[in-house]
């Protein structure tokens, strides 16, 4: 049975290079990357979060893609093009059968696809499609590549019944397939071995007994295919309004509209987040409540990705929940992909929510490419690096992040970690080395390494003079401004070496820029004399003891001071009663008073990479700069000239050195 698909999209497989103002052409170019179910949902105009639909879902998993990706990876661009050709041909043949039987591909997920069937006879049509797809795979799965032979095989699990679909998220609308129907489908696929089709008892009830083979745990093997009537010719029609673009992450939209969209092997950091407990929550709390929880969870994930330059890649089904794949380094390469992804995932886990989450992160080479027939395409990442991230996730407990040794080593952001005992995973001959990744560690300005500073005598002379003036109570601030690598950090660290006075030093970074008082807390903890890595409770106890002994008048405002030091203390009536609009000013006043008590003599305060300072810290430091003329402190600030974070250009009393 063949299918006559008519291309009405105006696109040619997603690659588009027309007028960027032509919204209709933009929409048509994105249509192949979005399931019709999602586009029709958006076009309906109502903001429904959940729909329950009767149908059959086929989970089609193809094994062998990872090895194929790896053997062609060494052939560079030619290998990527060869792999794209194989993928295009195989999926064109498989999807022709699926769509010809009235199915729709609603999810690409790694090496698997989800095909959805509705309407009269959907169970029989799903099984007949899977049977014929297996036959095609047996014929096409033996590949002759430029790097040697390869073999692709397919396993299929199918369930029929009621399925929950959720269209959730803030930055883009993501179609989630989760709930008891998805769980049953995933369970059937897990039972199926290569070459097999396993169906659930609910689907088996729709088939003639002679079509069923042996039982396989709680499923049944398919022994023969039902005969179904051909579906009418399908037409890929234009969407009703702009819908496809709303269902794709911004980074993917931008990439897919570029011309050309090239396939390549590249280094990326990849993460999987898995959420659980959906089936029980649906039963106990109802569809609408769970839809709200999923909407909040997806919105949080999207927001964290956006904050740190990480791509929200795709979602996939899992038993009793689902998975979210995140990537740093594709489609666009960035700085410190490993660090950006780790901070993103850790931030998501720390925010928590009603549904438990766990995660795995890895770094390595993947095939990133655009493939599929003109009516249904994907921009996908495949390879062993992706598989290992999923394996790490599967070993993590609720709330835990497991990361490979490679991704932890590459990250320029430092976390609390605990190395795990090496363990074996499917597809790896050698044990995997990984760590449990906890919270961020606090950064300090590095001490100089190697020979002393050369060629900055004028700048160092000014800094020494300002430090000498601070010793007699004439404090001040020097701002070192210049691009990355010009020597700001070296000047600051050299001054620390020759200061002859207490030093409080901090380095800001882009990952902590969203954490209130992240930068100031480093300075405050050093002034308090507590370990930078001490727990918030430990810092709170030290703060309470010190304030009671040396600055008792500040005890009513202890919770405000604790906020600035990222510490935990008991609430006070005064702090509880303070209106929100007055809290920042009172906190800053209390912090400066405490600092005056703790630092009565000459002191050097050093802040580097201040372009990454969080807003709350920047406000407090600006208050500090205004008070410096009457304090015995020198504040030295290093920053890039881009105006972000902390900028002191409007202070006449600040000495600015442009490097």
pLDDT one-digit tens code per residue, 497-522: 888 899 999 998 877 787 889 999 99
Q: Does the pLDDT of residue 2 top 50, yes or no?
A: no
CA dist 147 → 65, 221, 364, 365 (Å): 14, 35, 21, 18
Q: How confident is the model at residue 232 (pLDDT cuts 50, 70, 90)?
A: low
Q: How confident is the model at residue 443 (pLDDT cuts 50, 70, 90)?
A: low
Q: Does the pLDDT of residue 11 top 60, yes or no?
A: no
CA dist 176 → 247, 298, 344, 372, 619 (Å): 11, 10, 21, 21, 41
Give me the pLDDT at residue 548, please.
Answer: 97
Which of 304, 173, 310 minimizes the C-alpha distance to 251? 310
Q: Does the pLDDT of residue 290 top 80, yes or no?
A: yes
Q: How confident is the model at residue 74 (pLDDT cuts 50, 70, 90)?
A: confident
Report the C-alpha gap between 36 and 31 in whole angstroms: 8
Give me the pLDDT at residue 231, please.
Answer: 63
Length in residues, the chain: 659
129 or 451, which is more confident: 129
Q: Which fold has domain 252-279+309-441?
A: Alpha-Beta Plaits (3.30.70)
Give me the pLDDT at residue 333, please.
Answer: 86
The DSSP secondary structure of 127-166, one letter per residue, reads HHHHHHHHHHHHHH-EEEETTEEEE-EEEEEEEEEEEEEE
What phi, psi does 330 have (nearest 5°)?
Answer: -150, 145
Tokens read off for 568: 């935990």
Which of 288, 149, 126, 291 minimizes the C-alpha distance to 211? 126
Query: Which regions of the chain carry the CATH code 3.40.50.300?
Result: 457-529+587-658
455 or 572, which is more confident: 572
What phi, psi does 464 have (nearest 5°)?
Answer: -65, -40
Q: Does the pLDDT of residue 482 top 70, yes or no?
A: yes
Q: Does the pLDDT of residue 365 top 60, yes or no?
A: yes
Given CA atoms 189, 204, 106, 79 in this order, what sign does their dihedral have?
Answer: positive
CB 414 within 8 A of CB 432: no
Distance of CA 195 to the CA centre of its chain: 34
Give me the pLDDT at residue 454, please.
Answer: 60
CATH classification of 457-529+587-658, choosing from 3.40.50.300, 3.40.50.2300, 3.40.50.150, 1.10.599.10?
A: 3.40.50.300
Contacts of 144 (CB under 8 A, 6+ apart): none
Report the C-alpha gap between 321 and 187 in whole angstroms: 12
Q: Does the pLDDT of residue 5 top 70, yes or no?
A: no
Report the C-alpha gap between 470 and 6 in whole angstroms: 78
Give me the pLDDT at residue 282, please.
Answer: 98
Mean pLDDT of 205-226: 96
Q: Could you report the per-residue pLDDT of 559-583, keeping only the tens digit for each?
A: 999 999 999 999 999 999 999 999 9
Q: Does the pLDDT of residue 21 top 80, yes or no?
A: no
Please work out, in degrees rounded to the nearest 5, the angle formed at the alpha carbon of residue 352 by the alpha carbons of 538 and 404. 85
What phi, psi does 177 have (nearest 5°)?
Answer: -115, 105
Q: In 10 A of CB 320, how many CB atoms?
A: 19
What phi, psi does 359 have (nearest 5°)?
Answer: -150, 155
Query: Which regions of the chain carry the CATH code 3.30.70.1230?
Result: 1-8+39-239, 252-279+309-441
Q: Could you report the per-residue pLDDT of 412-437, keeping only the tens digit for each?
A: 888 889 999 999 988 788 999 999 99
Q: Does the pLDDT of residue 439 top 90, yes or no?
A: no
**% of the chain at pLDDT higher than 70:** 92
CB 349 within 8 A of CB 341: no
CATH classification of 1-8+39-239, choosing from 3.30.70.1230, 3.20.20.70, 2.40.30.10, 3.40.50.2000?
A: 3.30.70.1230
Q: What is the SS3 assignment for 278-338?
A: HHHHHHHHCHHHHHHHHHHHHHHHHHHHHHHCCEEEEEEEECCEEEEEEEECCCCCCCCHH
Q: Does the pLDDT of residue 445 top 80, yes or no?
A: no
CB 561 within 8 A of CB 547: yes
Tell me the whole-structure pTM to 2 decimals. 0.80
Mean pLDDT of 256-273: 89
Which of 94, 110, 35 minimizes the C-alpha distance to 386? 110
Report the C-alpha gap between 433 and 443 in whole angstroms: 25
112-117/103-109 β-pairing: antiparallel
Contacts of 347 (CB under 8 A, 6+ apart): 304, 307, 308, 514
First vs last Cα of the chain: how many Å apart?
72
Mean pLDDT value across the chain:
90
């Amino acid at each position: 049975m063949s299918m006559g698909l008519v291309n009405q999209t105006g696109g040619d497989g997603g690659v588009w290079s027309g007028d960027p103002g032509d919204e209709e052409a933009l929409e048509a170019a994105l249509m192949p990357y979005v399931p019709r179910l999602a586009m029709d949902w958006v076009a309906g105009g109502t903001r429904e979060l959940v729909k329950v639909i009767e149908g059959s879902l086929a989970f089609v998993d193809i094994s062998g893609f990872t090895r194929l990706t790896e053997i062609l990876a060494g052939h560079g661009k030619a290998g990527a093009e060869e792999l794209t050709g194989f993928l295009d041909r195989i999926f064109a043949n498989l999807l022709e059968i699926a769509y010809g039987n009235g199915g729709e591909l609603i999810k690409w997920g790694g090496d698997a696809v989800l095909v959805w069937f509705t309407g009269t006879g959907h169970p029989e049509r799903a099984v007949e499609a899977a049977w014929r797809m297996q036959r095609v795979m047996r014929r096409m799965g033996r590949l002759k590549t430029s790097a040697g032979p390869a073999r692709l095989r397919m396993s299929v699990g199918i369930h029929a019944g009621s399925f929950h679909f959720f269209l959730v998220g803030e930055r883009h609308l993501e179609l989630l397939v989760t709930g008891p129907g998805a769980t049953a489908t995933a369970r059937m696929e897990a039972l199926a071995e290569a070459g097999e089709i396993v169906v659930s008892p609910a689907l088996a009830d729709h088939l003639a007994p002679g079509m069923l083979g042996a039982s396989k745990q709680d499923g049944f093997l398919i022994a023969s295919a039902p005969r179904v009537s051909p579906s009418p010719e399908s037409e890929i029609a234009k969407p009703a309004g702009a819908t496809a673009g709303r269902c794709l992450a911004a980074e993917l939209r931008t990439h897919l509209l570029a011309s050309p969209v090239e396939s390549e092997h590249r280094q990326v950091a990849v993460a999987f987040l898995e959420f659980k407990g959906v089936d029980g929550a649906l039963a106990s709390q109802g569809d609408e409540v769970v839809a709200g929880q999923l909407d909040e969870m997806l919105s949080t994930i999207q927001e964290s990705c956006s904050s740190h330059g990480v791509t929200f890649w795709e979602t996939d089904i899992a038993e009793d929940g689902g998975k979210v794949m995140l990537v740093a380094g594709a489609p666009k390469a960035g700085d410190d992909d490993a660090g950006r992804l780790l901070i993103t995932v850790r931030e998501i886990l720390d925010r928590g929510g009603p549904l438990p989450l766990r995660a795995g992160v890895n770094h390595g080479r993947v095939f990133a490419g655009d493939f599929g027939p003109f009516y249904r395409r994907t921009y996908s990442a495949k390879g062993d690096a992706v598989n290992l991230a999923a394996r790490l996730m599967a070993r993590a407990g609720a709330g835990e992040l497991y990361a490979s040794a490679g991704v932890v080593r590459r990250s320029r952001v430092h976390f609390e970690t605990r190395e795990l005992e090496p363990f074996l995973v499917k597809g790896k001959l050698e044990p995997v080395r990984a760590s449990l990744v906890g919270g961020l560690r606090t950064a300090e300005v590095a001490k100089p390494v190697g020979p002393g500073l050369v060629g900055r005598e004028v700048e160092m002379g000014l800094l020494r003079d300002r430090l000498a003036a601070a010793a007699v109570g004439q404090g001040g601030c020097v701002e070192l401004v210049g691009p990355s690598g010009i020597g700001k950090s070296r000047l600051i660290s050299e001054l620390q070496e020759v200061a002859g006075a207490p030093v409080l030093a901090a380095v800001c970074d882009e990952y902590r820029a969203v954490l209130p008082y992240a930068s100031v807390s480093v300075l405050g903890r050093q002034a308090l004399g507590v370990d930078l890595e001490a727990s918030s409770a430990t810092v709170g106890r030290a703060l309470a003891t010190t304030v009671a002994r040396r600055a008792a008048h500040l005890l009513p405002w202890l919770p405000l001071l604790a906020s600035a030091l990222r510490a935990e203390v008991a609430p006070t009536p005064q702090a509880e009663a303070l209106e929100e609009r007055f809290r920042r000013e009172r906190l800053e006043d209390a912090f400066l008073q405490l600092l005056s008590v703790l630092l009565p003599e000459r002191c050097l305060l050093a802040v580097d990479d201040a372009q990454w300072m969080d807003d709350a810290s920047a406000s407090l430091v600006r208050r500090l700069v205004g008070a410096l003329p009457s304090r015995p402190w020198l504040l030295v600030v290093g920053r890039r000239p881009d105006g972000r974070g902390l900028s002191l250009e409007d202070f006449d009393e600040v000495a600015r050195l442009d490097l």
